[in-house]
Chain A
């Protein structure tokens, strides 16, 4: 006849839950308290700039071609030395990502020849309207470095002739 064990087992269960009452809560008070994301986290896209303030994006639309969800729309226009947005011949005059279609696969990052588009750490992507889901270039573009003229910049002719920067190690 087992008498003590069943009662002890029930009691052990109750003791476990009672003891956990006095542990420190694991709750993170989200909007006030934020946990840093993992290094390889894929959040909202960011369009990067060079140190001189020019946009890395050259409007080649390789990201749009690579996108499996067809979320990216790119339209390009010609750069001039009077109005220069990015090095090389062309820049993206329109760059839109539909956040309702994006699956955050990161193929656009891989496709980009200038490493202009990067999936960042922003995951707070709420909107109340379908139209707000389409993020235009102004929202995606990184802010200007301090003390640099905003794009379009006026540049010396013959300096920014290469669209894609020269790579030191092509295998990299």
Chain B
């Protein structure tokens, strides 16, 4: 390990953290603007042209806001909880590659912080740490609503983490590796969203629950819990919790783009052209960014459209629908891969076909169940 390499890592890590922190600020603006347009409003447009200075104004306001610590709260944990929540959200992106190896002035520059051979496992373990922060924030506040928010979030995040992990498994099996770079390379010809559409759908639904986004924002339901676990937080501590939430959104969208939507690879219609990543490697981060923006828009769009799900329905959906469905998807993927290896590569297309059938069955079952309950109520 040379000194130059250490410097390179430091710079890359610093740049990534800066991108995430700046990205958080502008994600809030993006969300507010997109929500406003969906609600036929304009959105923030006073600070700077088109409101582009709004995040800075918000930051200044939050910094100068009075910080309150509730009486008889656990002071140490109260201060530590936002930090525990934020750090995993930042650290998680270390394994996500943003592009292929670049050659800058004869020096090979790799566009990722760490190349861990169990990258997906690393992501799973780091996301689990974030639950601690939220539960501790709820518990140390000495407030029953915050406590309930924290409890709900721990139950919800642990439940959906299983479905999330199993949807990761299908991508791992299709790539045959847990290394993020291998997963991206395996999607050179075909994105995994086409091979495993149901797994991708499970991933997208479970991420919404995992980062506490509507319609699964139970831990911070404003109307029932008065903002849940961060009810007692103000000033920069609140900003840290908020930052963690939005950085988790960015991180999970990056992971989703990497696992199912080809990562930094070009869009399918651009392959074998000049815009391919193989020919112009610096386009990698651009493609990842475009996919990120699209996935984030999906999250905002869903927030603007669907109402919050009742808590028991949320847990029932996680345990009774998503978990069996993701297990079935993992099983189908495994069988499909074995058949493709042993008999004929065309069996690969059995994976999406059978998974879609199972997905359709699941939708039909949910519909039947909901209609049955509806009938019984009348």
Residue B366 at the chain A interface, CB threshold 8 Å: yes
Q: Establish whether residues A27 and B42, one from each chain, have CB atoms under 8 Å apart when the complex forms.
A: yes
Binds B, one of A17-25, A37-45, A132-140: A17-25
Q: Establish whether residues A3 and B363, one from each chain, have CB atoms under 8 Å apart when the complex forms.
A: yes
CB of B165, distance to nearest CB on chain A (Å): 25
Q: Establish whether residues A6 and B305, one from each chain, have CB atoms under 8 Å apart when the complex forms.
A: no
- Which B residues are CB-close (under 8 A) to A27? 41-42
- Which A residues are CB-close (under 8 A) to B360? 3
Residue A7 at the chain B interface, CB threshold 8 Å: yes
- Which B residues are CB-close (under 8 A) to A171? none
Q: Establish whether residues A20 and B364, one from each chain, have CB atoms under 8 Å apart when the complex forms.
A: no
Chain B, 334-378, contact with A by CB distance < 8 Å: what is the 0/1 string? Answer: 000000000000000000000000001001101110010000000
CB of B320, distance to nearest CB on chain A (Å): 16
Residue B304 at the chain A interface, CB threshold 8 Å: yes
| Alpha-carbon gap, A44 to B121, bound state (A) | 67
A-B contact pairs, 6 of them (CB 8 A): A1-B364, A2-B368, A14-B301, A14-B305, A20-B39, A24-B40
Residue B37 at the chain A interface, CB threshold 8 Å: yes
Q: Establish whether residues B364 and A13, one from each chain, have CB atoms under 8 Å apart when the complex forms.
A: no
Q: Establish whether residues B367 and A6, one from each chain, have CB atoms under 8 Å apart when the complex forms.
A: yes
- Which B residues are CB-close (under 8 A) to A21? 34, 37-38
Count of A interface residues, CB-CB < 8 Å: 19
CB of B216, distance to nearest CB on chain A (Å): 15
Residue B64 at the chain A interface, CB threshold 8 Å: no
Residue B3 at the chain A interface, CB threshold 8 Å: no
Q: Establish whether residues A17 and B305, one from each chain, have CB atoms under 8 Å apart when the complex forms.
A: yes
- Which A residues are CB-close (under 8 A) to B305? 13-14, 16-17
| Alpha-carbon gap, A17 to B36, bound state (A) | 11
CB of A19, distance to nearest CB on chain B (Å): 9
Residue A125 at the chain B interface, CB threshold 8 Å: no
Q: Establish whether residues A26 and B41, one from each chain, have CB atoms under 8 Å apart when the complex forms.
A: yes
| Alpha-carbon gap, A3 to B305, bound state (A) | 21
- Which A residues are CB-close (under 8 A) to B366? 6
Give the residue among A16, A21, A24, A27 with the most B Cβ atoms within 10 A: A21
CB of B362, distance to nearest CB on chain A (Å): 10
- Which B residues are CB-close (under 8 A) to A124? none
CB contact between B301 and one of A6, A18, A24, A26 (< 8 Å): that residue:
A18
Closest to B39 in A: A20
Residue A5 at the chain B interface, CB threshold 8 Å: yes
Q: Establish whether residues B367 and A2, one from each chain, have CB atoms under 8 Å apart when the complex forms.
A: yes
- Which A residues are CB-close (under 8 A) to B269? none
CB of B10, distance to nearest CB on chain A (Å): 42
Q: Establish whether residues B40 and A25, one from each chain, have CB atoms under 8 Å apart when the complex forms.
A: yes
Which residues of B from 277 to 314 have beta carbons under 8 Å from A? 301-302, 304-306
Which residues of A from 150 to 172 have beta carbons under 8 Å from B? none
CB contact between A25 and one of B37, B304, B367 (< 8 Å): that residue:
B37
- Which B residues are CB-close (under 8 A) to A6? 363, 366-367
CB contact between A17 and one of B38, B41, B42, B363 (< 8 Å): that residue:
B38
CB of A106, distance to nearest CB on chain B (Å): 33
Q: Establish whether residues B301 and A5, one from each chain, have CB atoms under 8 Å apart when the complex forms.
A: no
Q: Establish whether residues A2 and B364, one from each chain, have CB atoms under 8 Å apart when the complex forms.
A: yes
- Which A residues are CB-close (under 8 A) to B34? 21
Closest to B37 in A: A21
Chain B, 33-51, contact with A by CB distance < 8 Å: what is the 0/1 string? Answer: 0101111111000000000
CB of B110, distance to nearest CB on chain A (Å): 38
CB of B316, distance to nearest CB on chain A (Å): 16
